[in-house]
Structure 1
């Protein structure tokens, strides 16, 4: 027996079954932070360039960091396109280490003249809340503004860690745009396991 549901309230738009939607917030810095904190000294944390990253290893780390937040873009991207990004001379890819263990990922994209995009910034689950994020952001900001840029920008979304937006604002970014993103649910396309991001419902 089919059920008839009442129409959605005014102002709401339905999302097609098999898709997910999130609110993306875009933030920017147009100058280095005036009161930039001193470079954080953390003897057990090191940031190392990841040159010529193996795509399998890269995607494994990307998935480990982003699975809870539905990071999917690099999982479905064609190998040739992903390789072209990671090996581009104007893209910096770094891994964060705590001792010998990989703790996070940082990507800085300088491909647009005068700008740097904080493309990916994340920690492995065990590192969240231990101060590694502050160290990683300090390094990201320092490296970005060491180049002749006029704008450093990032976007986050409502699928990300609940503290992500406030963290970026505390780090010196200012919100300037919001947008709605709708895309196929990667848990239904086979790019992520169905149990990923259980806080986000699957609607088939």
Structure 2
């Protein structure tokens, strides 16, 4: 257990404060229309599709790397699992969002990944997609819908989840190799987080 005060982070590592949030019944939603020129669709993802959208939504700006660490076989097992659902928002024929709902835990749904590329940010598409996530999760016989976010993700994410009806219930510290130093991501990724070799 960490005591109060400062604690050194080993060289080449990232340290993130992770906040876990949950809801135990469907949150009321503020109805918003799908912005003009944008279409929602459910996806049966291929490996190439998923890796592309994952990196464009989260890796370049926010250092998403969890799925990048997986082997092709590990990731394909998730993509092909009937208890995991994938959705996107398309604009001008290009997919620009990732919504991944994981129902593999009995009675629960995890909002595993949620995000938009810069092409959709500020258009109202995030609220529409979250409304869809809440409705889809609670259309199944679940008792809990949960998500987590961290301090290297978008600074808007935590407040957005709270406004969406999730309640914070736990905080953790996660330490991981900096993916820019391992070569998983380019050194220009995550410009808001300095590299400390």
Deviation readout 1:12-46 (Å, 9 max, x if unpaired): 1101101011100000000011x333364445332
- Structure 1 gaps of 5+ residues are 1-9
Partner of residue 166, structure 2: 173
TM-score (norm 2): 0.93
User: Does structure 1 residue 104 correspond to structure 2 residue 67?
Assistant: no
Partner of residue 159, structure 1: 152
Structure 2 CA distance, aligned partners of 1:124 and 1:76? Answer: 21
Partner of residue 7, structure 1: none
Alpha-carbon distance change, 79 to 120 in structure 1, aligned in 2, over 3 angstroms: same
Deviation readout 1:116-150 (Å, 9 max, x if unpaired): 00000010122111111001101101100000100
Offset of 1:56 from its aligned partner?
Answer: 2.0
Count of aligned pairs: 193
Matches within 5 A, 1:1-204: 11-33=5-27, 35-38=28-31, 40-51=33-44, 53-66=45-58, 67-204=60-197
TM-score (norm 1): 0.90
Alpha-carbon distance change, 128 to 80 in structure 1, aligned in 2, over 3 angstroms: same
Contact map agreement 1:40 1:138 (CA 8 A) in 2: no
Contact map agreement 2:19 2:172 (CA 8 A) in 1: yes
Deviation readout 1:23-73 (Å, 9 max, x if unpaired): 00000000011x33336444533221211x221221111111112111011
- Structure 2 gaps of 5+ residues are none
Q: Give the alignment's Cα RMSD to 1 decimal.
A: 1.3
Contact map agreement 2:23 2:146 (CA 8 A) in 1: yes
